[in-house]
Structure 1
Amino acid sequence: MRISTQMIYQSSNNDLTSMQSQFLKLSQQVTAQQRVLLPSDDPVAAARALDMQQTADLNEQYKTNRQNANSALSSVQGNLESMTNMLTKLKSNVITAGNASYSNAERINMASEIKGNLAEVLGYANAQDGQGNYLFAGFKSTTQPFTLDGTGGVVYNGDQGAMSLQVDSTRVMDISASGQAIFQGNGQDIFKTMNNFINVLSVPVTEAANKADETAANNFVYPAGSGLTPIAAYKTSLAQLNALSPTDPTYQAVFTATAALKLQSDAADAARTPVVGSQAALTRNLASFNTQIDSLLSNVTTAKASIGARQNELDNLDAAGEVNKENYTQTINNLLGRNPSDVNQLISDYTLTQTYLSAAQKVFVTTSGLSLLNYLK
């Protein structure tokens, strides 16, 4: 078979073109640091890598959602912490105001201070996040949840829902709270309690009211229609007991009778309404406020515990998300050939192909220069 010069050129050209194409491909792979550049390089691996990348992108979106959720919950938690401090202060004011040595002027000054505290609490209840959404309005995040009704009262304009975000593939988390459950829940209303507290502190305690209350207490009949005045009877028995020596043979009998009358006197005192302006009326009201504040503190504490649990859950989901991210990245690297071992192999192939190409080019140059004329003399 005769091989023409044209065939030699054509064959050499085809080989060089193929090697140059292979060299260029390897050059692109080395530059990109990965083996699979186009779906045609490995259709199955490219398809699986695409699915895995979409999963990884969702994982990143969930991470962003968790950051937003944590930011919103931190804002709620911060306001609830301020509310806890305020309620603790109010509880301290209740105890201080109940001191009999506290003057009317001091209680009036305290009332003025609590008026400012009331405006502060209203601010906590109407707190907004960084985007201007109200934290305690439920689903109505663009509606101011608490407003004055014109009579000194406060009305709730939100709902009982809670804004939420999907923070993982199977977890949707509430990131806001219903303000009514916190500020007006369990039959308690922080705004009404504070207003009533202000009103009670504004009423001066007078000696005349104290005397009138003592007389009313001694004359109070309990149970109604019984004709019994347990408070006066207890005071008489107590005076008799105090006059006796513990060694007196009648002391034990009088002590037992006095103890029984004390129980009846306490029941009668609880059933009656003290005279307005008396120390007894102030004490009774302050005790009620103390109970109400405890209930409000319980509302806030419950909400804080719930938010704290959600923040802990977000931390756990973040940790799991980071593990998933590493796994997704490793899987994609394996599929697309991005691992160090893959890149090292590409570099080796690139160097070897470059050597082959250089040798082939030299052979082609040498071969193309051959001619019988060079051997004719």
Structure 2
Amino acid sequence: MMRLSTSWMYQQSLNTMISQQSALAATQNQVDTGNRINVASDDPAGAGQVVSLNHVLASNAQYSSTIDSATTRLNTEASTLTSVNSALDSARTLALQAVNGTLSSSDRNSLASQLTQIRDQLMQLANTTDSNGNALFAGTSTTKTPFQVGVNGAVSYSGNDAQQRSSVGSGLQVPTSDPGSGLFMNIPAGNGTFEASAGSANTGTLVVGSNSVTDLSAWNSTSAASGGGYTITFAAGGAWTATDANGNAVLDSSGNPVGGTYTDGGSISFNGMTIAMSGTPAAGDSVSVATGGQQDVFSTLNNMISALQNGGTTDTQLTNVMSRQIESIDQTQSAISSVQVSIGGRLDTLQQQQGAYQDLSVTYKSALSDVQGADAYTAISNLSLQQTALQASQQMFAQVKSMSLFNYLK
């Protein structure tokens, strides 16, 4: 006959209550946290899914944060470039005022003063920083003032030509900056292909107007052979001839020297280019055609200011200077416009990517809730049942504990 000792019964009762208390604590934890899985032992397989889902959610959150920072930086750049464009519009308007009509010395000084303010404003805009204090237009350089004025008034650029990039997804990087070298410094001169300028020693009233490449194939086949430019020289009565950079006469397709007679308001065309002009050239006046030149926007404004402040500049000379600087402003605004379009595309990419992460976060959080979350009604019901069972066990143990053989004999 098997004997059941009192100590054994006590131990069994204690083990039962400890097990019930442990289950009750686990259920209480589910009710408190709302999670079915709080430690790996609750559900090893489910815990693995929870870790994986939390990792994905954390990665998405990091990408979303990076997208927010990149969006802020690009919006700051876009806003700054809009201000730059506005300043250049004002400079262009002032240049046109200088070209149209005869200006008094006071008028010229007033225009020069306004252009000086615009130049200083452009310097400030070019050195704009983002919300972290980093220069917007320094490329990947850490310099805080990429544009600096030298003792001679010339502006130098101490940044680099690279773009900052932000990782906004697995294998996806978006540029978040544009170097100032391409926006403010390395601006193609003239019409972007060549620059036609009236000679500084001209004595006539010849003004060089709009110019362009009108026959690309002819230009491409002759521009390299020209040595990088041409010189158009005028004789009496508007007769003109052209030489290349080596001083050789420019020949037409038949092997004859190009040339002709210019009349006021006409144009000169050869080797695929056309140059419109006005006024009357004096014998010996010239027009140079240079290719591959560049001019920074600060030099453009400095040239305008210098021409206005120089009391010896004639109306014809002033008109020629301003015409060339207007071309440079147009080229600068073209470069800025191209970057603005690019920024718009990048912002659109960031917006789409952010929307994708928001949608994925909803999906992953729902999946995480399904795996980890506890059913509130079930957990509360289990908690109530476990509390009742534990109380019953405790009462039963108290009764068993107080019993003895003498109680039985009674």
1:227 Cα offset (Å): 11
Would the aligned equivalents of 1:63 and 1:321 in 2 still touch at CA under 8 Å?
yes
Contact map agreement 1:135 1:141 (CA 8 A) in 2: no
1:222 has 2:215 as partner: no
The alpha carbon displacement at 1:155 in A equals 2.0
TM-score (norm: length of structure 2): 0.70
Give the partner amino acid of 1:353.
Q
Alpha-carbon displacement from aligned partner over 1:114-156 (angstroms, at most 9, x marks no partner): 1121111111112222333211111213253222233222222
Aligned to 1:282: 318
2:140–2:160 CA contact under 8 A, matched in 1: yes
C-alpha spacing 1:126/1:25, structure 2 compared with 1 (3 Å): same
Q: Pick from 373, 381, 394 the counterpart of residue 361 of structure 1.
A: 394
**Match status 1:335 vs 2:362:** no
Shift of 1:273: 5.0
Q: Distance in 2 between matches of 1:108 and 1:139?
A: 40
Q: Distance in 2 between matches of 1:37 and 1:186?
A: 62
Alpha-carbon distance in 2 for matches of 1:302, 1:130: 24
Deviation of the 1:282 alpha carbon: 3.0
Q: Distance in 2 between matches of 1:22 and 1:115?
A: 81
Bigger CA radius of gyration = 1
Contact 1:23 1:354 in 2 (8 A): yes
Q: Deviations over 1:313-365 (max 9, x none)?
A: 212111111112222222222222x25xx232221111111111222223333
Match of 2:176 in 1: 175
Which letter does structure 1 place at the counterpart of 2:371?
Answer: L
Cα RMSD of the aligned pairs, angstroms, is 3.4
* Residue number in structure 1 paired with 2:188: 187
Q: Deviations over 1:292-320 (max 9, x none)?
A: 21111111111111112212221211111
Does 346-355 or 361-370 show the bigger shift?
A: 361-370
TM-aligned CA distance change 1:110 to 1:368, over 3 Å: same
Identity of paired residues, percent?
26
- Stretches of structure 1 lacking an aligned partner (at least 5 in a row): 190-199, 201-208, 235-260
Aligned partner of residue 223 in structure 1, secondary structure = strand
Shift of the 300–326 alpha-carbon distance from structure 1 to 2, 3 Å rule, reads: same
- Residues 101, 8 of structure 1: alpha-carbon distance in 2 compared, 3 angstrom cutoff: same
Using the TM superposition, give the Cα deviation of residue 230 of structure 1 relative to its aligned residue in structure 2, in angstroms: 4.6
Q: Is the 8 A contact 1:164 1:173 kept in 2?
A: yes
CA distance in structure 2 between the partners assigned to 1:166 and 1:221 by the alignment? 62
C-alpha deviation, 1:279, in angstroms: 3.2
Partner of 1:133: 134
Letter in 2 for 1:325: S
Q: 1:188 to 1:344 in 2, by over 3 A?
A: farther
Contact 2:238–2:280 (8 Å) recurs in 1: no
Q: Which residue of 2 aligns with 1:124?
A: 125
Output the amino acid matched with 1:96: Q
Judge conservation of contact 2:240–2:262 (CA < 8 Å) in 1. no
Instruction: Kindly indicate whether the alpha-carbon contact (under 8 Å) linking 1:137 and 1:157 is maintained by their aligned counterparts in 2.
Output: yes
Partner of 1:144: 145
Partner of 1:323 in structure 2?
Answer: 359
Report the AA paired with residue 126 of structure 1: N
Shift of 1:39: 1.1
Deviations 1:187-216 (A, max 9, x none): 149xxxxxxxxxx9xxxxxxxx99x648xx
Q: CA deviation at 1:6?
A: 3.8
How far did 1:74 drift? 2.0
Conservation of the 8 A alpha-carbon contact between 2:133 and 2:144: no
- Residue 24 of structure 2 aligns with which residue? 23
Q: Which residue of 2 aligns with 1:158?
A: 159
**SS of aligned partner of 1:131:** coil
Which residue number corresponds to residue 308 of structure 2? Answer: none
Distance 1:292 1:176 in 2: 23
Distance 2:174 2:82 in 1: 21
CA distance in structure 1 between the partners assigned to 2:29 and 2:157 by the alignment: 65
CA separation of 1:99 and 1:269: change in aligned 2, threshold 3 A = closer
Corresponding residue pairs, total: 326
Matches within 5 A, 1:228-247: 230-231=262-263
- Give the alignment's TM-score, normalised by structure 1: 0.75
Deviates more, 1:137-146 or 1:75-84: 137-146
- Quote the residue 1:206 is aligned against: none
Question: Which protein has the bigger strand share?
Answer: 2
> Please, which runs of 5 or more residues in structure 2 have no aligned partner?
191-199, 207-233, 242-256, 269-274, 288-311
Is the 1:220–1:268 contact (alpha carbons within 8 Å) kept by the matching residues of 2?
no
* One-letter amino acid of the structure 2 residue matched with residue 322 of structure 1: Q
CA contact (8 A) 1:77 1:307 kept: yes
Deviates more, 1:158-167 or 1:21-30: 21-30
> Contact 1:223–1:268 at 8 Å: present in 2 too?
no
For residues 164 and 172 of structure 1, the distance between their equivalents in structure 2, rounded to whole angstroms, comes to 6
Superposed displacement of residue 47, structure 1: 1.9
Is 1:345 aligned to 2:378, yes or no?
yes
Equivalent runs, 1:303-322 vs 2, <5 Å? 303-322=339-358
